[in-house]
A and B are shown apart, each in its own frame.
Chain A
Amino acid sequence: MLELLWLVPALPFAGFAALALFGRRLPRNATAAVGAGSVGLSTAAAGLVAFRFIAWPPPGEAWTQVLWSWIRTDGFASQVALYLDALSVVMMLVVTVVSFLILLYSVQYMAGEEGYSRYFCYMDLFVGSMLTLVLAGNLLLLYLGWEGVGLCSYLLIGFWYTDPANGRAARKAFLVTRVGDTAMLAGFLLLFTSLGTSQIQEILSLASSRWPPGSATAVAAAALLLGGALGKSAQLPLQVWLPDAMAGPTPVSALIHAATMVTAGVYLIARTHVLFALAPAVQTAVAVIGAATLLYAGLAALAQSDIKRVLAYSTISQVGYMFLALGVGAWSAAIFHFVTHAFFKSLLFLAAGVVILRLGHERNMLKMGGLRRALPGAFAAFLIGSASLSALPIVTAGFYSKDLILYEAWSSPAGGRWLWTAGLVGAFLTSVYAFRMVFLTFFGEMRQRPVERHGSCMAVSLAVLSVLSVAAGLIQLPETLGNAPVLTHFLRTALPPSGAAPAPAAMQAMLQIVAGAVSLAGIWAAYLLFLRRPEHAQDWLRTRASLAVYRLWQAGWGFDWLYDRAFVRPFLRLARANRADFIDGFAEAVARANIALHGALSQTQTGRVRWYAMGIAVGAVVVIALVVFT
């Protein structure tokens, strides 16, 4: 049954090809069936493969399927090979399940849209590329998937291309991630030239045997790969593209910019964790960047009024948690948070999508309110998602994953009090902004009546994701609460444990109580500030300084402003100064000299026969003189 693995990425690609070729001629039902159905079949295949892998693990807990030889020249060979181990099984399952649910939702969400088949076409291409990325057995194939998802992200952010602002957001996303991708490509080439292979597993084993910890090559390679991960996962300082990427349709934001693509950086680091373990300085940088990003984005999320921008900053912040976990060596904790985050964040996006759609594409939370009676389904889903996001103790999946990260940040040798404190403050901010969204959108007085109803597919997706957002915590129960670390145990063959000495149970319980209390305190603060006494929040904004801080957070700490001044404007100025391309000047000078010479020569063509005869005579005299006198 493992042989079905190739079908998992191939089916979405087939759906993409069918829609790209015949999409215009297919009726809408058939488009939806091909678009979502191909991913559904891919999900089924992934389920079968995963079942076989878990029930009867292949020897070595890893399995490679070589499809064909891609490039074979002297000194370089690359195969199209899929590599299946515990890590890629988890990634594959989450990607296929979430993609299928979101595509199912899109069938109705996008029903009224122009370009229905274009949408499904891009989405299928995205799913295929994402699966290629997580299943790739060598760096070249991984890079192909990596760029494929980047392309689809660009295409789908600019899906409503008639508005120039959307096109600008798409270009911004593409260019900013490109900065990271360039670093990553350099890292891949460095790995290839120094180790002579592009197979990821060979690279990892060769690296650990050849390079001593902290060696310059390992540090350079890890730092360059980190650059790629920062760009794709929207971490400081390359995070500016993600809030603008919300210009795309909401299911796109849910799938690409929350659940799957932005976590590709996390996957990359987890996949090449050996390199990061060999470069402790870079690994510390990962943890510090993660901690800084989660605080940065948490504060920025507090000041947003666009519901999707809150969710975007929330995604940046939660991916920051994953980076924090990776940085302290808790690889499987990062993957666990990726799993739960994929569920609850796509749930939040889809529920927000229902609200946005029913309010006629209104995204401003300040114009919403009191929707809990009018939209009970969306309210329930959003509440579950927010609870999971803010890590409501015991009942939600988010609690278990975030708690594991905080615990590892506290106890891992690479962690420490500061990182733990940052994570804890981030958890407080998370529950404040999560419930700020809930209170502003669903409580208070109703400002706008929702319009027409949509069908049941959306409800199915929301219900399944709600269940997953709650139940996904069961795959990894901490020692104090059931002691069933199923996921960590499953991942142990691909990702080593963090090396933390197990803390005593009392300590663990203590940390959990602190984390739970912080989460509840955040919800309470949000309740006070945004529902019970909104005038307090208004009062705070009276003073000049606090208003300035609020504006700063609202603008995402002014990174856009800074990059605009530091990079975009100087570049544009340079481009404008060089509009008449000075390199062209050299080529044009040659042309101009030729034209001048040609003009001078044509002056001699007077049309007078005697003049020509004179020319011939003088020429003959000169030639004869040369012959005679030399």
Chain B
Amino acid sequence: MATVPLEHSLILAAALFVLGMAGVLARRNVVFVLMSLEIMLNAAGLAFVAAGSRWAQPDGQAMFIFILAMAAAEVSVGLALVLLLYRRFKTLDVDAASKMRG
């Protein structure tokens, strides 16, 4: 079975991560920000899995399961916050919630 070289999967993970980060930094809609965060998490998970397969260790997959669990929790809390944000400001723009400035 042909194996995917580690470099390829890492390059893919990095590309995904940069895409996600660009989304976080560029999008103002909080739902899209959350989705971009998910992409970043998945990029990290991909890197773990690729590394686990490279050294034939189960740790990489275990870490990915952790990341999944954490992502689920994060999404549930995050969506609850999004709802509250929307009720309060009547918009989904994160820049509107900038009261806590120095």
Report which A residues bind B (CB closer than 8 A).
601-610, 613-614, 617
Known: A617-B21, A617-B25. A608 touches B102 (CB 8 A): no
Provide the bound-state CA to CA distance between A245 and B26, in Å: 85
Q: Report the minimal beta-carbon distance from A503 to chain B, rounded to whole angstroms.
A: 96
Provide the bound-state CA to CA distance between A601 and B99, in Å: 17
Residues of chain B from 31 to 65 with CB closer than 8 A to chain A in the complex? 33
Cβ of A606 and Cβ of B25 under 8 Å apart?
no
Known: A610-B24, A610-B25, A613-B24. A603 touches B102 (CB 8 A): yes
Q: Offer 14 A-B interface pairs, CB within 8 angstroms, sorted by A.
A: A604-B102, A605-B100, A606-B98, A607-B98, A607-B99, A607-B101, A608-B98, A609-B33, A609-B94, A609-B95, A610-B28, A610-B95, A613-B24, A617-B21
Residues of chain B with a CB closer than 8 A to A602's CB: 102
Dominant secondary structure of chain A at its interface with chain B: helix
Residues of chain A with a CB closer than 8 A to B24's CB: 610, 613
Residues of chain B with a CB closer than 8 A to A608's CB: 94-95, 98, 101
Q: Report if B84 contacts A (CB, 8 A).
A: no
Provide the bound-state CA to CA distance between A26 and B28, in Å: 85
Provide the bound-state CA to CA distance between A613 and B33, in Å: 11
Provide the bound-state CA to CA distance between A608 and B101, in Å: 8
Provide the bound-state CA to CA distance between A605 and B98, in Å: 10
Provide the bound-state CA to CA distance between A604 and B28, in Å: 19
Residues of chain A with a CB closer than 8 A to B69's CB: none
How many B residues touch the partner, as a band?
Answer: 10 to 19
Residues of chain A with a CB closer than 8 A to B94's CB: 608-610
Residues of chain B with a CB closer than 8 A to A607's CB: 97-102
Residues of chain A with a CB closer than 8 A to B100's CB: 605, 607
Excluding A605-B101, A617-B21, 19 further A-B contacts by CB distance (< 8 Å) are A601-B102, A603-B102, A605-B102, A606-B101, A606-B102, A607-B98, A607-B99, A607-B101, A608-B94, A608-B98, A609-B97, A610-B24, A610-B25, A610-B28, A610-B94, A613-B21, A613-B24, A614-B25, A617-B25
Q: How does the 8 Å CB contact mask read for B14-35 relative to A, with 1 for contact and 0 for none?
A: 0000000100110010000100
Report which B residues bind A (CB closer than 8 A).
21, 24-25, 28, 33, 94-95, 97-102
Provide the bound-state CA to CA distance between A613 and B95, in Å: 12
Q: Report the minimal beta-carbon distance from A207 to chain B, rounded to whole angstroms.
A: 72
Provide the bound-state CA to CA distance between A604 and B98, in Å: 13
Q: Report the minimal beta-carbon distance from B82 to chain A, rounded to whole angstroms.
A: 12
Query: Nearest chain-B residue to A602 (Cβ)?
Result: B102
Q: Report the minimal beta-carbon distance from A615 to chain B, rounded to whole angstroms.
A: 11
Provide the bound-state CA to CA distance between A602 and B102, in Å: 5
Residues of chain A with a CB closer than 8 A to B97's CB: 607, 609
Query: Nearest chain-A residue to B102 (Cβ)?
Result: A605
Q: Report the minimal beta-carbon distance from B44 to chain A, rounded to whole angstroms.
A: 13
Q: Report the minimal beta-carbon distance from B70 to chain A, rounded to whole angstroms.
A: 18
Query: Nearest chain-A residue to B36 (Cβ)?
Result: A613
* Among A601, A603, A604, A617: residue with most chain B CB under 10 A: A617
Q: Report the minimal beta-carbon distance from B49 to chain A, rounded to whole angstroms.
A: 21
Residues of chain A with a CB closer than 8 A to B33's CB: 609-610
Provide the bound-state CA to CA distance between A485 and B97, in Å: 105
Provide the bound-state CA to CA distance between A609 and B96, in Å: 10
Nearest 10 A/B pairs, CB to CB: A605-B102, A607-B101, A607-B98, A602-B102, A607-B100, A608-B98, A609-B94, A606-B101, A605-B101, A613-B24
Q: Report the minimal beta-carbon distance from A417 to chain B, rounded to whole angstroms.
A: 89
Provide the bound-state CA to CA distance between A605 and B101, in Å: 5
Query: Nearest chain-A residue to B21 (Cβ)?
Result: A617
Provide the bound-state CA to CA distance between A614 and B25, in Å: 6
Residues of chain B with a CB closer than 8 A to A613's CB: 21, 24-25
Residues of chain B with a CB closer than 8 A to A605's CB: 100-102
Provide the bound-state CA to CA distance between A594 and B100, in Å: 22
Provide the bound-state CA to CA distance between A606 and B96, in Å: 12
Residues of chain A with a CB closer than 8 A to B95's CB: 608-610
Q: Report the minimal beta-carbon distance from B78 to chain A, rounded to whole angstroms.
A: 12
Query: Nearest chain-B residue to A610 (Cβ)?
Result: B25
Provide the bound-state CA to CA distance between A610 and B25, in Å: 5
Provide the bound-state CA to CA distance between A617 and B97, in Å: 21
Query: Nearest chain-B residue to A614 (Cβ)?
Result: B25
Query: Nearest chain-A residue to B26 (Cβ)?
Result: A610
Q: Report the minimal beta-carbon distance from A430 to chain B, rounded to whole angstroms.
A: 82
Residues of chain B with a CB closer than 8 A to A603's CB: 102
Query: Nearest chain-B residue to A606 (Cβ)?
Result: B101
Provide the bound-state CA to CA distance between A603 and B101, in Å: 8
Provide the bound-state CA to CA distance between A603 and B25, in Å: 20
Provide the bound-state CA to CA distance between A613 and B99, in Å: 17
Provide the bound-state CA to CA distance between A609 and B99, in Å: 11
Provide the bound-state CA to CA distance between A608 and B24, in Å: 12
Provide the bound-state CA to CA distance between A610 and B97, in Å: 11
Residues of chain A with a CB closer than 8 A to B25's CB: 610, 613-614, 617
Residues of chain A with a CB closer than 8 A to B102's CB: 601-607
Provide the bound-state CA to CA distance between A614 and B94, in Å: 14
Query: Nearest chain-B residue to A599 (Cβ)?
Result: B102
Residues of chain B with a CB closer than 8 A to A604's CB: 102
Provide the bound-state CA to CA distance between A571 and B21, in Å: 69
Provide the bound-state CA to CA distance between A609 and B98, in Å: 8
Provide the bound-state CA to CA distance between A610 and B36, in Å: 12
Provide the bound-state CA to CA distance between A306 and B97, in Å: 84
Provide the bound-state CA to CA distance between A602 and B33, in Å: 25
Provide the bound-state CA to CA distance between A603 and B102, in Å: 6
* Among B33, B94, B98, B102: residue with most chain A CB under 10 A: B102
Q: Report the minimal beta-carbon distance from A389 to chain B, rounded to whole angstroms.
A: 82
Q: Report the minimal beta-carbon distance from B21 to chain A, rounded to whole angstroms.
A: 6
Provide the bound-state CA to CA distance between A614 and B23, in Å: 11
Residues of chain A with a CB closer than 8 A to B21's CB: 613, 617
Provide the bound-state CA to CA distance between A601 and B100, in Å: 15
Provide the bound-state CA to CA distance between A607 and B94, in Å: 10
Query: Nearest chain-B residue to A603 (Cβ)?
Result: B102
Provide the bound-state CA to CA distance between A617 and B101, in Å: 20
Residues of chain B with a CB closer than 8 A to A614's CB: 25
